[in-house]
Amino acid sequence: MYTEEDFRTFVNKFTWIFAKTYANRAPHEYVALSKVGTEHQLEFIKAAQFIREAGFKALYYNRPNFYYILDGNYYWTMDDRVEDTNLINRAKLSDYELIAGHWRWKGQKQD
């Protein structure tokens, strides 16, 4: 059985890349399957499956995703099928807040 400790080992094993494209509206990092290598594909899919099974559903920009909170970060995937997952994302909890099931970046302008 895949555990939180297995997931922690996974997230600490790889180098996370800052998502420059979203720096001004949704700062986060990601790890891509193409960067960790196909030898880690099964481990990558297990981590994505863990986020879905042990996590919770919430919205970001009205898009539902599964999220898992660990050690000051929250993690998510965006593919409809876990087998299609090629990115796992993470953001710092301190940069976001969860309000009524919607993630909101604290740096975002409030309407």
Asked whether residue 1 carries a pLDDT value surpassing 50, the answer given is yes
Instruction: With beta carbons less than 8 A apart as the criterion, state whether 28 and 89 touch.
Output: yes
pLDDT of residue 62: 83
pTM, two decimal places:
0.89
pLDDT tens digits for 42-91?
999 999 999 999 999 998 888 889 999 999 999 999 888 888 889 999 99
Instruction: With beta carbons less than 8 A apart as the criterion, state whether 87 and 47 touch.
Output: no
Nearest to 91, CA basis, from 31, 48, 32, 29? 29
Residue 106 half-sphere exposure, CB side, CA atoms within 13 Å? 8
